[in-house]
Structure 1
Amino acid sequence: METPLTKSFVPKSISDTAFKYRLFYKLFDDVKKEKRSCLLVNMDTKETVSNLEILAQSEEYAKGLLRLNLTPGIDNIALIGCSTFQALALFAAAAEIGIGFAHLFIHPPREERITTQIKLLAPKVIVCGEGAGGHNASALFSLLDSEPTDKISGKLPSLEHIFYDSSYKDRSPTHKSVKTLYKLKELGETVSDDQLTEARERVQPDFVCQHLFTSGSAGHPKCTSRAQEAIVKLTSVGQGPLQTTMVMNMNVDTMASYVYLLYGLVGLCGTIITIPESYEENPMKNQGKILVETIIEKKVEQLILTMSALGAIIDYIKENKISIPHPLKRVFYSGQIISYQFLEDGEQLLKGVHCIGYGMTELIGIGATSFIDSSKRKVCTKEARLLPYPFATVRIADEQNKTLDIEQIGEIQVNSPLAIKEYRLEEEQTQRLFSPDGFIKTGDAGIMFPDGTFKVLGRMNDNDRFKIYGKVEYSGPIENIISLHPEISQAYVVTGKRNDWIGDEITCCILAKEKSKKIPEDMLLEFCKANGMYQRQQPARILYFDEFPSTHNERKVKL
């Protein structure tokens, strides 16, 4: 930036004319016409497929969906436990004909999560599989009515059709209402190409294309709804064609995953290798071995990783005293740097340009170090200073949504063409999200510097936050799960110490209903896992108290 800023405001640097497409079917037609090819490799299921094969399959699925008489711009299809490539083909099929799409991330207690999310989405069609960890389809089937009625499920009243994806577990569904996914293609055989063309041409750019649930880390999970043109524009905001191989360590149900999978779907990458996050026992060690072996075997040049995945790679390389025989060109972390030492280890062991990014489900990308001048990039990466993406307008604002002077702390607010349309069926929450002039209020505190870079300082209204493997976690959801245990009266979560590899180590302080009684740690952690606690949310240590120290207003004292 040539002229130093005086106000905390950076406008977008690309205009709307930079976005060539507003509808997916037009983009897909050009990809097929120009034969833009990308090879996609799934190290979990051992599948290898080209994006052109996926697009050909998506047309068959689109015709099948047309036979089900779904209404474009209104009706939804939901996926539970499907493989990455089947999910991508079904996403493309739904997008072509204007049907809303959601790939749900279901974790224990599965039946409760399925019921909550399906009731909110009200999909007429579900495609289900067991998922990488198993049990997802089984959990769904347990909610279906066993006796013949006019509905598939009284608990899930919107459902009209269920199809089974056998990618993870090949079995013939025994429930009368469930058909194999191949039947969806068979349904489409009676739909002509002309009928498909007519359906595609009725799609509007503002039709909701994707529904995605937030993590719920700062409250209850919300269902975000994003318009078709916002998703399509993702393919126009990259830094040029990515002709390098990438490894992802993300779930297909996240927005970040779809960003890179979409690049592959429309042929902007040479090869994409996907490795989903592991939830096995001791996942970091297994993950590190698999990732390092894949990088070496496939001669990976570019990594798109979560912090936990990068940590697993670093730990495995150090522990086994091995090296990557070829230099990497670029390493992009989807999270904040845990420590300077963490970054130094990454740069020393993996080489290449190391960048971090900042975003949220509602906005996708907000800022990254990728766009910072190379002479300043390393320092900015270490200090977690970011530059807004070219398509985003970013400001630091006060409580009245007025732009602050430079280097004053306020809320990070963003205006972006990639923003969500709404929180589904939550009008009040949607109104709170947007400022009167159309900026999304992130809820994150930040500060902007004269060179246009900015830094995320934390949440505006919640100091009880931790950074674990580069991901932000809040005390409330963790405390809520622990407090469900029948022998616990109260639970408070505080930070213990920082770890160069993990980040913040969580300490759980417990007040048992029966004084002096301690619950075996393995039993408590198993209970928390069964009630939806992620591994990264698990406490590093558990302390028991007869009473909690407090201030005059009865707020707990941090230990």
Structure 2
Amino acid sequence: MEWFHSQDVVLCSGLKESYVKGDCTFPLLQFSLGNALKRAAKKTPDNVAVIYADSDVHVTFSELSHQVKMLAKGLLAQGVTKGDVILVSCGHGTDFATLFYAIVSIGAVFLMPYMYEPQHISLKQIINKVNAKMLIINERNTSLTEALKTIAPNMLVRSGSVNTFDHMPEVPSLCAVVVYGCNGDKGLRDIFAETSTTDKQLSVVQNMVSPEDPCIVFISTGTTGEPKAVLHGHRSMVNTSYSLHHRRNAQGRVVLGIENPLDDDVLSVMGIISATVNSDVTCVVTPVNKQCEGAISDVIVDAIEKYSITHADLLPYMWKDMILHGSIDGHGLSRLKGGFTGSQALGVESVKSFTALVPEFMNVYGSTETSIVTANFKDDPLMERRLGSIGFPVARVEVKLIDDQHNVVPIGEPGELCTRSPFIFIEYMGEPERTRTVKDEDGWYRTGDVARMDQNGFLYFIGRKADNIRFKKMGDVIYPGVIEAAALKHNKVAEAQCVGIKNDDDCIGDDVFLCIILKPGEDMKEDEMEEHCQVELIKRDQPDHIFIMGAFPRVGIRKKVSKAKLREICQ
């Protein structure tokens, strides 16, 4: 019972309906991201805020605050105003945190999207979707400058300066392009150094930024494949970081290893926010990984060892790479206490292997629209719940599970997961109707995920509602997550995905296809998995077809499995 009453939220017991809220006693923070940096610089000016591992550069809160002030004044002098969307390319080296805070501190909106190939199509689509006013590029990103030339062949862009334009029909909102270098006098701060903006003028602008104002756009394809410009506000980002820090419940100073911005946008941004909101955090931006098996773990383990990283927030495939391919002999991870992952559902075996690597590992559930919804507890005495659930709502997050008639379902019954909190996104930019289809007037967001809740309010992920399979008899609904979880219980299986493909007989429904990837060095025939499923699953849920594959088709920077492409392969 001591554990039950010592968490960051009030835990529940004896619930009858699938509704729960993360009630807490600590306050909702009511300040902007710019003010978060100011508070940290005042409280702990000499503490290191950010370490850039690629160049071994350490930046204190005081230094970061000064750099942000200078760059923010330069942005104002170039006509950037509150609400303007500033699109920045990845790969800003030691200017990453400076650029982020300079933009959001004056009320502008930060956007750092992953550019899909062909980049000229992706770039044009994003600029026009969010009406970006300025584009900031590192000169090393030659592919993006070439993409610009393809979009607007007559556009003349010089490195080392702010290039302004009156009107370009292809991207009418874009007024300026900044291309800067890393050496000499062409650096980002050098370009914006000459400014007429006074300290008083900067202060006036920054004081006009409120917690309700927008601050960042994430471009998400999620599991749907359709790009969405997800707009979040200062309050959302500040309190997401604050609540997650409470759930992490770390003892002592946190040295947080995060993704390099070239590898992920969300986790890298959340890391530098965590450093300022929770000023007992130092954020280590890990080197760029080579996006190939084995190379990822070597880069991360080297950074963990060199900078005595205590926690690492990484995507699932990076944790997996560390386990399967990393040259880990123990000493490199001796100081690593915990970390979290998210972006996709994990099986029990994956969580177990991650927890074995890092004892305080946390499995986090959320989405681009919701930020963090739930997370498990690092010291949950029920190991089965810690491994199998997606946790309990973090502070101030409400969760309910509903049926197709929008009624809250009884405890233990599957339902669509809906959530409401101060962390919910503002809107899909330029798409009010799309926003209204998922977010109602009371602030409830429909995730499209199916889950069940136990009597203590812990959530168990079942699958995407859109991926549910109509069974071939009696119209029953099958949840892919149930079949995937059963397959993952086999000690030879590393990954499992399940899809439904329409049967030629339209009265039957879908055939169930189970696709698996084996662990390195393992061998299996389809009939072995078939026998396993007969033991683990009721007859209704047993797959019609089993495919053993070398890899799954993945999309996006987070490498989520594409169910659509998987269906194409299976057909």
TM-score by length of 1: 0.77
Q: Give the equivalent residue in structure 1 for 2:160.
A: none
Closer, same or farther: CA 437–322 of 1 in aligned 2, 3 Å: closer
Match of 2:444 among 436, 439, 443: 439
Q: For the Cα contact (< 8 Å) 1:61–1:90, is it kept in 2?
A: yes
Q: Give the equivalent residue in structure 2 for 1:486.
A: none
What percentage of residue pairs aligned between the two structures are identical?
A: 19
Q: Give the equivalent residue in structure 1 for 2:134.
A: 125
Q: For the Cα contact (< 8 Å) 1:58–1:90, is it kept in 2?
A: yes
Q: Give the equivalent residue in structure 1 for 2:428.
A: 423
Distance 1:457 1:19 in 2: 31
Match of 2:66 among 34, 56, 61: 56
User: CA-to-partner distance for each residue in 1:431-450, whole Å, 9 max, x for gaps?
Assistant: 01113432110010010000
Q: Give the equivalent residue in structure 1 for 2:466.
A: 461
User: Secondary structure in 2 aligned to 1:431?
Assistant: helix
**How many angstroms does 1:453 deviate by?**
0.2
Distance 2:426 2:452 in 1: 27
Q: Give the equivalent residue in structure 1 for 2:337.
A: 329
Q: For the Cα contact (< 8 Å) 2:237–2:423, is it kept in 1?
A: yes
**How many angstroms does 1:64 deviate by?**
1.2
Matched, 1:264 2:296: no
Residue pairs, 1:79-228, within 5 angstroms: 79-83=88-92, 85-129=94-138, 135-146=143-154, 151=166, 153-167=168-182, 181-182=188-189, 184-188=191-195, 190-228=196-234
Residue pairs, 1:280-359, within 5 angstroms: 280=291, 283-317=292-326, 324=332, 326=334, 328-335=336-343, 338-348=346-356, 350-359=357-366
What stretches of structure 1 move > 6 A for 4+ residues in a row? 464-476, 532-535
**How many angstroms does 1:150 deviate by?**
5.7
User: Secondary structure in 2 aligned to 1:375?
Assistant: coil
Closer, same or farther: CA 217–67 of 1 in aligned 2, 3 Å: same
Q: For the Cα contact (< 8 Å) 1:342–1:501, is it kept in 2?
A: no
In structure 2, runs of 5+ residues without a counterpart are 1-10, 157-163, 470-479, 501-510, 525-551
Closer, same or farther: CA 534–9 of 1 in aligned 2, 3 Å: closer
Match of 1:7 among 11, 17, 25: 17
Q: Give the equivalent residue in structure 2 for 1:20.
A: 29
Distance 1:83 1:42 in 2: 11
In structure 1, runs of 5+ residues without a counterpart are 173-178, 477-491, 506-524, 544-554
Q: For the Cα contact (< 8 Å) 1:63–1:196, is it kept in 2?
A: yes
**How many angstroms does 1:71 deviate by?**
3.1
Distance 1:96 1:471 in 2: 43
Deviates more, 1:329-338 or 1:299-308: 329-338
Match of 1:249 among 240, 259, 262: 259
Number of residues of Structure 1 aligned to a counterpart in Structure 2: 492
Closer, same or farther: CA 324–343 of 1 in aligned 2, 3 Å: farther
User: CA-to-partner distance for each residue in 1:252-298, whole Å, 9 max, x for gaps?
Assistant: 75333322221123453443222266354xx1211122222332333
Distance 2:494 2:419 in 1: 22
Q: Give the equivalent residue in structure 2 for 1:514.
A: none
**How many angstroms does 1:243 deviate by?**
1.1
User: Secondary structure in 2 aligned to 1:413?
Assistant: strand
Distance 1:151 1:14 in 2: 51
Q: For the Cα contact (< 8 Å) 2:18–2:409, is it kept in 1?
A: yes
Q: Tell me which amino acid in the other structure corresponds to 1:140.
A: L
User: Secondary structure in 2 aligned to 1:104?
Assistant: coil
Distance 1:322 1:29 in 2: 39
Q: For the Cα contact (< 8 Å) 1:335–1:470, is it kept in 2?
A: no
Closer, same or farther: CA 201–28 of 1 in aligned 2, 3 Å: same
Q: Tell me which amino acid in the other structure corresponds to 1:316.
A: H
Distance 1:394 1:236 in 2: 19
Distance 2:235 2:328 in 1: 47
Q: Tell me which amino acid in the other structure corresponds to 1:366.
A: V
**How many angstroms does 1:361 deviate by?**
0.3
Q: Give the equivalent residue in structure 2 for 1:481.
A: none
